[in-house]
Amino acid sequence: MKKLLSAFLALIIVFTLCGAVASADDEPAFDPEAALGEPAADTQFDIRLNAQLRYKPGDEIKVIATVRNIKHKAGISVLTYDFYYDTEKVELANVPKSDGSLDVDFKTPDAKAWENLTKYATDDNDALIPGAVRVTLANANTASATAVRDGELTVTLRFKVKESADGEIFFWVPHASVIANDADFVNFVGSGSYAGVKKQPTKEDLVSGLEEELKPDPGAQFDLDIAGPDGYNTVRKIDVTVSVKNVKAERGLSGVDFLLKYDAEILELVTPVNTQGVVEAQAVLPNADTWENLTKLEQTAGVIHVAFYNATDAQSLIDGDDKFSVTFSFIGRKDSEFPAGIWTDSASIEGRTADFTVVKGNGCYIVLDKQEYVYVPGDVNGNEKIDARDYAMAKRSYLGTYQLSEDETMRGDINKNNKVDAQDYAMIKRHYLGTYVIPGAEGK
């Protein structure tokens, strides 16, 4: 394994020297696939790395390395591989223990039978390798505690993101370093993998990037405008409306076609999609009966191909503001916490005139901040006061004669046990009668 590691380090040195000769602008981007190398012909398991999607400078990133796809029938009793990270962007947060091993979180089939021997990686001369950890888990106590299923061997490494960090951060395990032993201590090999964590842009970064992407077309015959709230949350859906404005095309438009893009890692589209794959967005049209909605999701996540056409009625055309708009609904994903953009770039926008000539349009964008969902606890129906209807709904929910929505359950769940129970009902009723005040609902 040391020879393989030495060869891999030599490859890194060559890349480093080549990069030193080139200018900073010409330096090639890090290629994680190249860093992994070629997998062995007969791999018996895989190491899979998982990490969060985004980071901010100063964050702590947890990278979870899990053994997957175990084919070796006797299982794994000793596991070792080399884990690499970018020392310019992160520093290892796991600290050495008194015995020299790194204090990592790990999962094994039998914690008493396994030992953590993970430490900083060294080369053939026992010199530390910058940005490398040699992960080793060993079981020499019992053959019955071998790992035979996915997830039985899991190691979590923690990293502190440096304040100067920029761009994507990669973590990787080269294929050539992944080796294991079975219960008889016979070697077999596995495959490595990598994980990338992208830097979360600030709201200012998003606006700047969108301004650059949405350069106007001076020959555009119409504009798009996006209207929506200032922010999103992970509880209540928001509506975003795209409208046609400033139509210059003679006689108006008989078709509108554009790509609406959004950050799918932060926002989830909740507008229904029918059995034909058409996104059933709410639309305002000159005459809805003569128009056809062909809006569909693209294969690329976060892209909606919006298309509405009218080939029936030459009188029902888009010839002014407020003649066409389409509304989509989104909700923040459960772990969302960053600003998110929704936009349509000028290059993707086309219209059809009354004689079906193709014309271009100009794009637009909005940027939404993450906002907390503020509500009155006990206000089940959401009318910002606690009344007889609230305690009636809570009672019927507890008795099983009424199904509360997710929003209603959240507002009625005062004791925070993820359901509306008898205690919640009693507090709501007493608050309404004036014999008790629900914390956070004073004056309601």
Q: How far apart are CA 315 and CA 354, in angstroms?
A: 9
The pLDDT assigned to 27 comes to 57
CA 348 to chain centre: 24
What average pLDDT does the segment 166-192 reach?
95
> Which candidate, 405, 431, 430, places its Cα nearest to that of 420?
405
Q: What pLDDT is attached to residue 417?
A: 86
For 203-370, CATH gives: 2.60.40.680
Answer yes or no: are the C-beta atoms of 298 and 277 closer than 8 Å.
Answer: no
**Contact between 331 and 337 (Cβ < 8 Å):** no
Q: Which two tokens stand for residue 346?
A: 């000028």
Give the whole-number percent of the chain exceeding pLDDT 90.
67
Query: What is the per-residue pLDDT across 42-67, written as a single tens digit (0 to 9) for each?
Result: 999 999 999 988 898 999 999 999 99
Element housing 391 (H / E): helix 388-399
CA distance linking residue 362 with residue 394, whole number of Å: 50
Q: Report d(CA 266, CA 340) in Å as an integer.
A: 7
Q: What is the mean pLDDT of residues 177-181?
A: 97
Q: Positive or negative CA dihedral for 339, 340, 344, 347?
A: positive
Residue scoring higher pLDDT (119 or 215):
119
**Which pLDDT score, from 0 to 100, does residue 73 have?**
92
CB atoms within 10 A of CB 31: 11
Contact 260, 342 (CB under 8 A): yes
Residue 21 pLDDT more than 70?
no
Q: Strand ranges (DSSP E) for 264-415?
A: 267-269, 282-284, 292-293, 296-297, 303-309, 325-332, 340-344, 350-353, 358-362, 364-370
Judged by DSSP in three states, 204 sits in: helix
CATH number for the 2-199 domain, one of 3.30.1360.70, 1.10.10.10, 3.40.50.720, 2.60.40.680?
2.60.40.680
Judge if 2-199 and 203-370 fold alike in CATH terms: yes
Four-residue CA torsion sign, 175, 176, 178, 182:
positive
Q: What would the mean pLDDT of 361-369 be, rounded to a whole number?
A: 95
Structural tokens at position 353: 């005139």
- Domain spans of the chain? 2-199, 203-370, 375-444
Residue 19 pLDDT > 70: no
Whether the model clears a pTM of 0.85, i.e. scores above it, the answer is no
pLDDT in tens, 264-294: 989 999 999 999 999 999 999 999 899 999 9
Q: Is the pLDDT of residue 10 over 80?
A: no
C-beta atoms surrounding 426 within 10 Å: 16
Q: Does domain 375-444 have CATH number 3.40.50.300?
A: no
Please, what is the average pLDDT of the chain? 89
Interval 213-241 mean pLDDT: 92
Q: How far apart are CA 263 and CA 232, in angstroms?
A: 12
Token pair 């271009």 is found at: 360
Q: What are the distances in angstroms from CA 166 to CA 57, 169, 171, 237?
A: 8, 8, 15, 32
Q: At residue 348, what are phi and psi to the nearest 5 degrees?
A: -95, 5
Q: Which segments within 4-85 are labelled E, that is strand?
A: 46-50, 54-55, 60-68, 78-85
